[in-house]
Structure 1
Amino acid sequence: MTSVDPRGRTDVFAPDRQAVARTLLDSARTSSYDPVEEVDWETPLDTAYHGASPEWSTLYGTSYWDEMTPEQQRELTRHEAASVASTGIWFEMILQQMVLRDFYAKDPTDPAFQWALTEIADECRHSIMFARGAAKLGAPAYRPRRVVVELGRGFKTLAFGEAAYAAILVAEEVLDVMQRDWMRDERVVPFVRTINNIHVVEESRHMKFARQETKERLAGASWARKQFNALVVAIAAYAIVTSMWNEDIYANAGLDAERARREAKANEHHKAMLRSSCAGLMEFLHSAGLLTRAATVFYKRANLI
């Protein structure tokens, strides 16, 4: 929501948005990390550890999981962690472009403008951190399906306002809950726990800004606009979440890929984990008027409701 200052400028941010931005800038000055220094990149990978909490594995709770050896289970979670990280990189690149486009040619003296650049700097560091982490886990480059990549290309070019910021929030909220579990789990390899801790701390600021922006942009929005953008955000959420666990992880972990994909698709435990991770997010989207009937269809298909 913009306001007009005495000189007639219309890119001046509302006072509450400025206050949030100042708070986030202060937090960034005192609680930010340099992954190059903080993460142990030198110690060789210890394969006695998981790459992620086993309970978050797409096969945990299935008959196939019970048949796997502990070594196979750990190998799978390492590939799954790398796949999630790779998806995170893909979406963080979309996020950076949307934020840059949103703040293009706006008032650089405004705290919100400065926070936007701070967030982009964070995301650049995070993407490099995820890339190095995936490589250290011994995984190949996992990318979304071609159709999703092309949809993302269109989304980053066309999405604006609440559609952009609510989609950012969806991606970060799902990652946040997973990574809070992983960073506390002593079964997870230490360098991945450090990566997750850094991301959780710094992304908490990004999520606060995304919530604020979403609410600001929706102020006074028409019913039709809310209906349209609710659907856009839900489709984006479906594309993001269904891309997190690349189907190639099973073959690369030495498993029967066809059976693994079949059991993962029917895994009620994993679906329940996703739904529980999104409870707060869905409450926010509902309060913002973005949890419409049409949007709910896509959230259910992605197992977020």
Structure 2
Amino acid sequence: MALTRQATEHGHTVADDDVSKRLLESAATLSFDPMTEIDWDAPLPEEHYGLNPEWSTLYGTRLWDGMTEQQRVTLTRHEVCSIMNTGIWFEMILQQMVLRDQYLKNPANAEFQFALTEIADECRHSIMFARACQKMGVPAYRPNKVIAQAGRAFKALAKGELAYGGILVAEEVLDVMQRDWMRGENVLEIVRGTSRIHVVEESRHMKFARQEIRERMRHAGPARRRTSATGIAIGAYVIVSSMVHPGVYKAAGLDVARALAEVKENEHRKAMMRNSSRHLMAFLAEAGLLTSRSAAVYRRVHML
């Protein structure tokens, strides 16, 4: 009876609250201030990449083989900053969705308190990414107008598992990439450092998103599962297809049309994307959010 009284409209339970309490404890003991953890004044070695070459969209192509080393360094720095700017864009969407989800909920609940903790983390992450790109001298790459408007609609309308599913997609894919970047000996220290901070703190955010999705889907019927699965997949398509701006190829002195054509056919890139999405796909399947229709969308961006 007590459990029923403590349940919210989306099925929140005492066990769910325990997850949020553990995440709050983790945040209290293992959080970072990027302004002091990162040496923002350290010089950037000219030969160091922005990300591991294997994560470049052109790695493994004939175009990559014909590029100078300086072009490769420039390309990877612009690629990582494009991904960081996509991260800033989506973190701003994320913050608004989480705030809306927690509006007028009980501030004494651990779920409420961790949600605000996550928003505070995301604010620091966005500033951290912005400063890193500024340090690298890379311009702010933004999504095109259509994608930007789609983002406005998503943050205004998405709720429940759709909102947290979108959050999880963005965090899971970037997490796999950054775990490699932070270990890359030939990667800029500013990228390795920001990646370490993001990986540690985002691990909590991903646990929170998974738990929120489990709650919302606990009593969901087949129709809701199908609709939500498709909505999350469309969100994933938008996020993944927007990560690397076409302008990065121009910045490296490449023919943009040729670069985009080679990226489209790059089997190495496709394999890397499937690998980075493996755990995400397993979770969505477990939650009943991987349907034949959503799988078709994921395949279009090589997440399956």
Query: 1: CA distance between counterparts of 2:11 and 2:17?
Result: 9
SS at match of 1:106: coil
1:162 and 2:126 aligned = no
Partner of 1:27: 26
1:272 and 1:165, CA in 2 relative to 1: closer, same or farther beyond 3 A? same
Moved beyond 4 Å, runs of 4+? 8-12
Q: Give how far 1:12 is off.
A: 9.0
Q: Give how far 1:158 is off.
A: 0.5
Q: Deviations over 1:47-83 (max 9, x none)?
A: 2100000000000000111111111111100000000
SS at match of 1:108: coil
One-letter amino acid of the structure 2 residue matched with residue 35 of structure 1: P
Q: Deviations over 1:187-225 (max 9, x none)?
A: 100111000000000000000000000010001101000
Q: Give how far 1:11 is off.
A: 8.6
SS at match of 1:5: helix
Partner of 2:198: 199
Q: Deviations over 1:203-252 (max 9, x none)?
A: 00000000000010001101000110111000000000000011110001
Partner of 2:124: 125
Partner of 2:56: 57
One-letter amino acid of the structure 2 residue matched with residue 32 of structure 1: S
Q: Percent identity?
A: 56
Query: 2: CA distance between counterparts of 1:233 and 1:272?
Result: 21
Partner of 1:255: 254
Q: Give how far 1:46 is off.
A: 2.1
Query: 2: CA distance between counterparts of 1:132 and 1:142?
Result: 14
RMSD: 1.6
1:70 and 2:69 aligned = yes
1:3/1:11 contact within 8 Å kept: no
1:53/1:185 contact within 8 Å kept: yes
Query: 2: CA distance between counterparts of 1:242 and 1:9?
Result: 36
* Alignment of structure 1 residues 212-251 onto 2, 5 Å: 212-251=211-250
Partner of 1:5: 5
* Alignment of structure 1 residues 93-108 onto 2, 5 Å: 93-108=92-107
* Alignment of structure 1 residues 165-180 onto 2, 5 Å: 165-180=164-179
Q: Give how far 1:45 is off.
A: 2.4
One-letter amino acid of the structure 1 residue matched with residue 139 of structure 2: P
Partner of 1:303: 302
1:85 and 2:84 aligned = yes
Partner of 2:263: 264
1:149 and 1:15, CA in 2 relative to 1: closer, same or farther beyond 3 A? same
TM-score where L is the length of structure 2: 0.97
SS at match of 2:103: coil
1:24/1:115 contact within 8 Å kept: yes
Unaligned runs of 5+ in 2: none
Q: Give how far 1:44 is off.
A: 2.8
1:64/1:263 contact within 8 Å kept: yes
Q: Give how far 1:145 is off.
A: 1.4
1:11/1:106 contact within 8 Å kept: no
1:142/1:246 contact within 8 Å kept: yes
Q: Deviations over 1:120-151 (max 9, x none)?
A: 00000000001111111221110111111101
Q: Give how far 1:13 is off.
A: 3.8
TM-score where L is the length of structure 1: 0.96
1:12 and 1:303, CA in 2 relative to 1: closer, same or farther beyond 3 A? closer
Query: 1: CA distance between counterparts of 2:8 and 2:265?
Result: 55
2:24/2:114 contact within 8 Å kept: yes
Query: 2: CA distance between counterparts of 1:12 and 1:60?
Result: 46
Query: 1: CA distance between counterparts of 2:171 and 2:230?
Result: 18
Query: 1: CA distance between counterparts of 2:129 and 2:8?
Result: 40
Structure 1 window deviating more from structure 2 (254-263 vs 34-43): it is 254-263
Q: Give how far 1:166 is off.
A: 1.1
1:115 and 2:114 aligned = yes
1:9 and 1:263, CA in 2 relative to 1: closer, same or farther beyond 3 A? closer
1:9 and 1:16, CA in 2 relative to 1: closer, same or farther beyond 3 A? closer
Unaligned runs of 5+ in 1: none
1:12/1:107 contact within 8 Å kept: no
1:281 and 2:283 aligned = no
